[in-house]
Each structure stands twice: as C-alpha cells, then as structure tokens.
Amino acid sequence: MNRIEQIIASGLLDNEIVALRFAATQERKAAIKVEVLRRIASKIAAQARLDTKAGQDQAIRDFGAEAKEVFDAIASEQANELQEFAELTGKATVATVNSGLAVGLFKQPPRLSVRVESLLIDGAPTAEWWRRQSDAARRAFAQEVRTGFASGETTDEIARRIVGMRGQPGVIDVSLRQARSLAHSSVMTVANASVQEAIAANDDVVNGYYWVSTLDSRTCPVCAARDGKKYSMEHRPAGHTLPWGSGPGAIHINCRCATTPWLKTYRELGLDIDEFEPTTRASADGQVSAGLTFEKWIEAKPVAVQREWFGPGRYELYRDGKITLRDLTNMRGRELTLAQLRERYG
C-alpha cells in the first residue's frame, strides 16, 4: 500500500470497530431468543412421555417447530436491521475514503444493491445458515432424547442433557454459541460487502481491493496468506494466485478480515506525479510504520480513543498481557444499536 492507502485503511479499520460493536448487539439479541428456546425445551422434555417412541417423536416434532420459529425470528429481525446497517456502512466508507484522499473523489452509490439475506458466508447464504441452525438444534435434541432413553435415564436426566448442566453444555448451549457466532459473522459479512460496493461504485479512481487480515496468533492460514493481497474489481487475484472465495469477512465463519481500496496511481489518473513511498503511515494519530497489523493500528490510537472503543481498563489489561487480542476485540458490553449508528454516520 502507498501512504494514502495506508491512511484510508487505518480509517476503515476504525469503522470495523464500530461494526464489531454493532455485531455485539446482534449477538445479544440472538442470545436472548435462544435462551427462550432453552425454557421451551425444558418444558417439552418435562411434559413428554419419553419412555415411549411415540412420546419421543412428539417431543422432537414439538421442539423442531419451536426451534424453527425462534431461528426464523432471529433471521428476519437481523435481516431488517442489517439492511439499514449496510446503507450506513456504505455511507461511512465513502466519507472515510474521501477524508484519506483529502478531496471528495469517492461518490456514494446511487442505490445500494446489497441484499443481506443472500450474502454468502463460507459459500452459503446467511438465510440458509439460520435454517441450518434450527435443523441442527432439532437433530441434536432428537439424539439426546434417544440416547438418554437408550441409556435408561430418567426424564429429568434427559432434560439436563438438552438444557445443559454445570460443567456440561447441552443442546441449547451449543445452539447459543452457534447463534452468537452466526450473528457476528452476518454483521461482518454485510460490513465488508457494503465497503466493497462503495469501492466498486468508484472504479474510475480504484483498480480493485486490498485484503486486510487481523494478524495475531489466532489468524487462520487462509486469511494470513491473503493479508495485503490485491484483487481486481472482478475479484481476480493480482500478482498472486490466491482465490477471492467469499471475500474478506465471509471466507469462513468468524472471519475478521476487512476490505480497503486499491487506488489507481497518479499516472493512471492522468497526473504526472510520483507516488508516496509506503515507509510510514501518516494519520491523525501520528506516524506509525507501514506494516499494517491490528496491534500496530491499536497502538497508534490515543489512550482516550482506546478507552472509548474497548471500555475503561480493557486496553490496559491487554497491554499488560492479562487478556488477549481476542478478548480486547470482543465487544460484549460495548454494544452499539442502529439508533447510535444513525447518529454516528447519519
């Protein structure tokens, strides 16, 4: 990246933190609905005749219907909120790029074409992932009921298999974890798709995209290999052979990668000017090295900004080695709602 691209990338990572905080809100909302399913599952198990096949089959059908209703509700509510989130993110992207360019070259797409329910995560639409959640919960419920009965367990023991008990997660605990993960991934997929659409609408000043990965001990090989790689407007590899796949933020569940614009050079824009060398990155936070890693980006921020983003004391714990980078970027407790996003970006 040249210097201007580094400045823009830093600004878009700022936006990524905002997206993470909104993702935390979506995770919490999904978790509330799944906890309702826990109570329903407990009631179904307690009232069913699990000592007969007919009773087991009825309990499985009842739970399956309830699980479908819960996960359909999560998918519907999230799709509605993510559509507005996509529009706000696209608007923020244009403003961030123009701020980095110090001139209003980037234009807002006339109409957002991102359809959140059809965006792919690891090769499947988000709507399909939510359908899989209800199917997986029903199958797990059925397995625990039948396994418990075959083992001679009481109805109470089978119910504990389903709702979980201390030190041993149940069916609902697994569903809760998966729902949080999917809610998070859906937000980050939409965020990156919105950034990419804003970039694509400005192909007169950009060549394509940079893939930016969060580099830490948890970065998967797939993402680490793509960090800093260029892709054309058609998502073709530029100067390498690594395929785009579903793209940053969506190549797998819980992907933490981001997208930034690969700008045309001054000469490609018709200006006889040499490019800035990427030896340092100038920003409002001062000079930092050009190697754009998540840690370096965090370190460049004033302490006041760190506290506002991550919460009082959390960054200090990270700096002192008491929590990990993953803990630092877990935004539970630092949530942002759609109303707050409208105020920030509106």
pLDDT attached to residue 280: 44
pLDDT attached to residue 161: 87
Q: Which of 81-90, 124-133, 161-170, 238-247 has the lowest mean pLDDT?
A: 161-170
Count of C-beta atoms within a 10 Å radius of residue 3? 18
The mean pLDDT value for 299-326 works out to 74
| CA dist., res. 10 & res. 16, Å (int) | 10
Residues facing 261 on adjacent strands: 209
Give the helix ranges, DSSP H, for the chain.
Answer: 3-47, 53-101, 126-150, 155-163, 171-200, 221-226, 294-299, 303-310, 314-319, 325-328, 338-345
pLDDT tens, 2-54? Answer: 888 888 988 998 898 899 899 999 999 999 999 999 999 989 988 888 888 89
The mean pLDDT value for 193-197 works out to 92
What percentage of the chain exceeds 70 in pLDDT? 86
pLDDT tens, 124-146? Answer: 888 899 999 999 999 999 999 99
Give 317's pLDDT tier (boundaries 50, 70, 90): confident
Which residues have C-beta within 8 Å of that of residue 271, sequence separation ≥ 6?
A: none
Largest Cα separation within the chain, whole Å, is 83
Q: Which residue has the higher pLDDT, 66 or 7?
A: 66
Give 190's pLDDT tier (boundaries 50, 70, 90): very high
Q: Which residue has the higher pLDDT, 76 or 283?
A: 76
Give 320's pLDDT tier (boundaries 50, 70, 90): confident
pTM above 0.85, yes or no: no
Q: Which residue has the higher pLDDT, 16 or 117?
A: 16
Give 117's pLDDT tier (boundaries 50, 70, 90): confident
The mean pLDDT value for 273-280 works out to 54
Q: Which residue has the higher pLDDT, 87 or 298?
A: 87
Rama region for 167: left / alpha / beta (φ>0; ψ in -120 to 50; rest):
left
Q: Which residue has the higher pLDDT, 327 or 236?
A: 236
**pLDDT higher than threshold 70 for residue 295:** no
Q: Which tokens belong to 40? A: 């329903």
**pLDDT higher than threshold 80 for residue 87:** yes
The mean pLDDT value for 83-107 works out to 91
Residues facing 237 on adjacent strands: 231
**pLDDT higher than threshold 70 for residue 275:** no
Mean pLDDT of the chain: 84
**pLDDT higher than threshold 80 for residue 277:** no
pLDDT attached to residue 159: 85
**pLDDT higher than threshold 60 for residue 289:** no
The mean pLDDT value for 215-235 works out to 81
Give 249's pLDDT tier (boundaries 50, 70, 90): confident
pLDDT tens, 236-248? Answer: 999 999 999 989 9
